[in-house]
Amino acid sequence: MEKLIEQLINGLTVGSFYALIALGYTMVYGVLSMINFAHGDIFMVGAYFGYFTITQLSNNGFSESHPVLAIIFTFLAGALGAALTGVTVERLAYRPLRKASRLATLISAIGTSIFLQEFVRLIPKFGEILASLSIAGKTIFPPSWGNAIIDVTKTFGGAMVKTYPGLLGTDGIRLGEVFISYSRILIMAIAIVFMVLLFILVRYTKLGKAMRAVSEDKDTAALMGINVNRIISSTFFIGSALAGIAGVMIGIFYLQIKPTMGFTPGIKAFTSAVVGGIGNIPGAMLGGYILGLAEVISIQFLPAVYKDTVAFAILIIMLIVKPTGILGGRDGKNKL
Amino acid sequence: MNKFKSTLITFFSKPIVRNILITIALAALLSLPLFDFPQKNLWVRIIGYAGLYIILGMGLLVHVGFAGMFDLGFAAFYAIGAYTYAFLASPHFDIHLPFWIVIFIAGSIAAVVGTLVSIPVLKLRGDYLGIVTLGFGEIVRMLLMNLTKITNGSQGIIGLDKPTLFGIVFNKGTHFYYLIFAVIVVLLIVLNRIIHSRTGRAWLAMREDEDVAQMSGINTSKYKLLAFALGAFIGGLGGAIFAAWQGSIFPDNFNMNVSINILCLIILGGLGNQYGVILGAMALIALPDILRGLSDYRMLIFGLLLIIMMILRPQGFLPRKPPQLENCDSKPTTKQKEVQL
Amino acid sequence: MSKRFFIIASLTIAMVLFAACGGATPAEEAAPAEEAAAEEAAPAEEAESATDEWGYIVIPAGEKVVVGVSSALTAGYAAYGQDMLNGVTVAIQDFGDLKGWEVAVEGNDDQCEGAPGVTVAEQFSANPYLLGVVGPMCSGTVVPASAIYGENKVLMVTPSSTAVKVTAQGYENIFRIVANDDLQAEVAVDYLMNELGVQTLGIVHDQSIYGEGIALAVQSKFEADGGTVTGFEGLTRGDQDFSAVISTILEGNPDAVYWGGMDAEGALLVNQLRGAGFEGVFFGPDGIKSIPSFVEASGGAAEGAFMTFGAVGGATGYDEFEAKFTEQFGAPVAYGPGSYDAAMIILNAADAVATVDEDGNLVIPKKTLADQVRATPHSGITGYLEFDENGDLKVVSITVFKAENGDLVPVKVYDFGQ
């Protein structure tokens, strides 16, 4: 029994990650009806921005003197970095295809995904090239700058696994036989806070109203004086920021980040969004938790290798029973 | 300049010119392995491998392009075909059936599985169908990985039999090059016949508007199943050829990237017809190999090129033409209809 | 368009096919024969020495001799692949030139997968100035690619692929300088049982050819030696949270956990195992022998973990190599030293058998080159390397390392063979 409860808590933690990432998928889908395949990689970029910040902060001792502030800065950097990446990607790779078929956008998204992964992996190499750029035998940057560029780019990317400094202890609370670490509680709390914030934003603010209008009908929304491009950019900004936060959370909680880390969580989060009814914000959260729990529950009955098989089987059964997802609209139309 | 361009376009769209060009290309491709040049085997390999993806692309084209069913798990059929070959023509179970029989068994098994899988999901549309097939693809791969007693799990099956024909053992890239070429030609002819048949028209109607098709008396379920079975059959066929060629297979050969790649190439080709698939496969599958000179920048450039190609030509290389009556000279007046899924 | 087109097209096809294999077989069979004839004829003019049945590598003056590296240079395993490339680069710097010919390294990306690996093999085989190939890195690539290398008689030395079947295919030009899965498993089990007194073992693997392969070998060996395997579970590469697998494994309450897989997931696993309160031994294969991506990436949890690695730290010249490597590329990740040795084996053998003909070409007989590799022991920076008939090492040293204070310390060396 205690084991089961511990497993359920594990499931909820994993579910929190899926849910946070799924929100980005679902928001973009709601507004543009496109599968943003690069979303998992934007999550990865967020983790690297966070890593860069936290290593800089711990190098000069700031994170020891102000641990809470350091964590907040890290989250901010991760969220902002991912958000800007998301907006840039939308502007350069998706907006020119707004009028094209959705499948064309899907390919563009896949290209973006490959590009982002490889770019982050190659950043140190670019740094070296930049530092050694020279005109007429003289490097453009003085050697001290060159070294600084190499140092910065080395912390920012590369093929090797990067390790976040351990910020959270392994302490926790014990409820009877069940042990819950504080870090797990923190992760779940952060996820819930952001999901509630997002829900409020979409439901009760002017921006949210505009988003819902755009998701309902872009042309009509434009006629009503809504700047559709701006709303789409804001959607990407918010969705990517949430992914960035999830990326930093992965770094803080599991310590390890690498350029290919976005793929698996990306697919799982996408699945969650569909299970919940893609385009639907509470649905994405629900889907994330359902998937997280399904994975741990399956391990109770089957060997662990069947975990993902079970998760996908649940997905298929669920869609056969309710073809538009749990909270999806009646006719498969998707609105925020 | 514009005039020059339009003259060029008229020149190249003349059927006779196009046929001559295509014939020249065909003859060049066919005779490539006969010349002896230093990198011959490499080019035979690259083009042959792209050819394998043309076969797979044609299978997926039946699902996505013809019948309008979004399929993100096509690697499953590819895997089923490959493993069928591995079971029936290797020391694994010590069964050694001839290749020419096994490829049809492989295709048929894939078709049966495809039909069975598609029955419950017939009412799903668009992205929901996509995600279900994605799940199916992953489930197949994981079963191959974990049913260790049957499939040997992650350790794969090695030492598969090589096909033989009239006493020639297919142990060189060139043999598979011609085999794949022949299969593509047969598929082109078969698909061409099917598109212009009643079935093809039913698919077309379904793809354009499923509800209207249903209301005009088309049994959409039947035609969907048919499309699923045919596409899966071609996928299984491709799998068997791949298995025989590589001589060893592992579950990792059939991961999600394969499904995504096949989907990319048919979209790049324009989803319109079989010929687009050929261009798409040449661009998408051969490109990373052609970019090998860029060393570790090659995937970065490849990703970038995907984006640029889509932005420059969002409708793909050979876009689908709007439906029109055969033998009728009326030009479509509306702007070309974009692919809708 | 269609009818006419098909008539024309099928006519052409018929014609060309008729020309190609029509009258059928002769042309088909003639092609390779011609090739072989051409291959033998060319050097016969240039080299006066006895003929080599596999043909010759002929490198004109002014061209570079190429050592190929087939490894993953993009995507997930790029760190290891780059490491191999760097190791070979250092080897070439140390070796200098080959009888006056400059030596160049050519890295080619096989993505650690089968199909690209075969394409790489074709590309290398088509390179007339290629001496030999270091790699491929992964077992899933080696198995299909070695067929191409075997057929084209390209010398291949893999420093990293441990699957037993790699060398068991009967090719005379394929070598491996790393202990196979069975030997690593034997060492791991021996050390676990006899040195650490472990009686119950939980095994986790990453469902890859490499990881599950070695995990299976450890499982059967451990059970054969009278131990109890309390659990055998696989996790998904790319996942971050393994707590569910860990709970299942820890239910069996094992003395030790064996991990079959690579360093990145290994670091996550050991971190989460310790987080879940596991205090027993953590043991892994050569895939986790990395300070930055296992010991450091585990956030300290790897302290006290053990691993086997087919190399003797501190063998002749290792320190110089490490200094030179680190200066240029940072610390070696995993297969850098092995790749250095592999490249050195190829280059030394080529140096021994190469001759310069009267036209000023460097001529290397292919079979003699392979025979030279097999016949000549090499004392490398990873130990004493001597090959048996299969191309496997005759004498294999496997060292057990322990993670101590953020470093990896050799604790016991096992020698196999004569």
Q: Could you give the percent of chain C with pLDDT greater than 90?
A: 40
The 10s digit of each residue's pLDDT in C111-123 is 888 888 999 999 8
* Average pLDDT across chain C, whole number: 83
HEC string of chain C?
Answer: CHHHHHHHHHHHHHHHHHHHCCCCHHHHHHHHHHHHHHHHHHHHHHCCCCCCCCCEEEECCCCCEEEEEEECCCHHHHHHHHHHHHHHHHHHHHHCCECCECEEEEEEECCCCHHHHHHHHHHHHHCCCEEEEECCCCHHHHHHHHHHHHHHCCEEEECCCCCHHHCCCCCCCEEECCCCHHHHHHHHHHHHHHHCCCCEEEEEECCCHHHHHHHHHHHHHHHHCCCEEEEEEECCCCCCCCHHHHHHHHHCCCCEEEEECCHHHHHHHHHHHHHCCCCCEEEECHHHCCHHHHHHCCCCCCCCCEEEECCCCCCCCHHHHHHHHHHHHCCCCCCHHHHHHHHHHHHHHHHHHCEECCCCCEEEEHHHHHHHHHHCCEEECCEEECECCCCCECCEEEEEEEEECCEEEEEEEEEECC
> Which chains have at least 3 CB atom pairs separated by less than 8 Å from chain C?
A, B
Asked whether the predicted pLDDT for residue C169 surpasses 90, the reply is no
Q: Cβ–Cβ of C115/B189 closer than 8 Å?
A: no
Q: Cβ–Cβ of B49/C115 closer than 8 Å?
A: yes
Chain C nearest CA to A297, separation (Å)? 9
Per DSSP, what are the bridge partners of residue B164? Answer: B169
A333 part of a folded domain: no
pLDDT at C44: 42
Q: Could you give the percent of chain B with pLDDT greater than 90?
A: 38
C277 pLDDT band, cuts 50/70/90, is confident
Q: Cβ–Cβ of A107/B306 closer than 8 Å?
A: yes
Asked whether the predicted pLDDT for residue C52 surpasses 70, the reply is yes
Domains of chain C from N-terminus onward: 58-179+314-387 (3.40.50.2300), 194-309+400-416 (3.40.50.2300)
- Which amino acid does the sequence have at C47? A
B57 part of a folded domain: yes
Number of domains chain B contains: 1
Asked whether the predicted pLDDT for residue C41 surpasses 70, the reply is no
Residue B246: closest CA among chain C residues belongs to which residue? Answer: C144
A122 part of a folded domain: yes
Task: Assess A315–B contact: CB distance below 8 Å, yes or no.
Answer: yes
Asked whether the predicted pLDDT for residue B334 surpasses 50, the reply is no
Nearest to C122 among B42, B158, B250 (CB): B42
A261 interaction partners in chain C (CB closer than 8 Å) = 238, 240
Contacts of A321 (CB under 8 A, 6+ apart): none
B272 part of a folded domain: yes
Domain that holds residue A267: 2-168+179-321
B330 pLDDT band, cuts 50/70/90, is very low
A257 interaction partners in chain C (CB closer than 8 Å) = none
pLDDT at A331: 52
Domain that holds residue B141: 51-312
Closest to B68 measured CA to CA, from B201, B208, B190, B197: B208
Chain A nearest CA to B264, separation (Å)? 6
**Number of neighbouring beta carbons within 10 Å of residue B2:** 6
Structure tokens at A12: 């909820």
Q: Cβ–Cβ of C82/B296 closer than 8 Å?
A: yes
Per DSSP, what are the bridge partners of residue B271? Answer: B319
pLDDT at C370: 92
pLDDT at C21: 44
pLDDT at B40: 84
Give the three-state DSSP class for B259.
helix
C12 pLDDT band, cuts 50/70/90, is low
pTM score of the predicted model? 0.88
C37 pLDDT band, cuts 50/70/90, is very low
Asked whether the predicted pLDDT for residue C39 surpasses 50, the reply is no
Structure tokens at C21: 């294999």
Nearest to C264 among A10, A256, A263 (CB): A256
Q: Cβ–Cβ of C73/B295 closer than 8 Å?
A: yes
A121 part of a folded domain: yes
Determine which of A78-87, B136-145, C22-31, C258-267 has the lowest per-residue pLDDT on average. Answer: C22-31
- Between C187 and A323, residue with greater pLDDT: C187
Number of domains chain A contains: 1
pLDDT at A208: 92
Asked whether the predicted pLDDT for residue C110 surpasses 80, the reply is yes
> Which chains have at least 3 CB atom pairs separated by less than 8 Å from chain A?
B, C
CATH of the domain at A232: 1.10.3470
pLDDT at C3: 56
Distances (CA, A) of C180 to B29, C126, C191, C258, C285: 43, 29, 17, 17, 11
Q: Cβ–Cβ of B18/C1 closer than 8 Å?
A: yes
Q: Could you give the percent of chain B with pLDDT greater than 70?
A: 93
The 10s digit of each residue's pLDDT in B118-163 is 888 887 877 788 888 988 999 999 999 988 889 988 888 988 999 9
C7 pLDDT band, cuts 50/70/90, is low
**Number of neighbouring beta carbons within 10 Å of residue A331:** 7
pLDDT digit string (tens) for chain A, length 336 residues:
777 888 888 899 999 999 999 999 999 988 888 889 899 999 999 999 999 999 988 888 888 888 889 889 999 999 999 999 999 999 999 999 988 888 888 889 999 999 999 999 999 989 888 888 888 777 788 888 888 888 888 888 888 888 888 777 667 787 777 778 888 888 899 999 998 999 899 989 999 999 999 988 888 999 999 999 999 999 999 999 999 999 999 998 888 899 999 998 998 998 898 888 888 888 999 999 999 998 888 888 888 888 888 888 888 888 888 878 888 765 545 555
The 10s digit of each residue's pLDDT in C341-396 is 999 999 999 999 999 988 889 999 999 999 999 998 888 888 888 888 888 888 88
C216 interaction partners in chain A (CB closer than 8 Å) = none
- If you average pLDDT over residues B71-100, what whole number do you get? 93
Q: Please say whether the beta carbons of A272 and A290 come within 8 A.
A: yes
From chain A residues 248-267, the ones with a CB under 8 A of any chain B CB are 267
In the block, which residue shows the tokens 């909270």?
A327
Chain C nearest CA to A91, separation (Å)? 25
Q: Cβ–Cβ of C239/A261 closer than 8 Å?
A: no
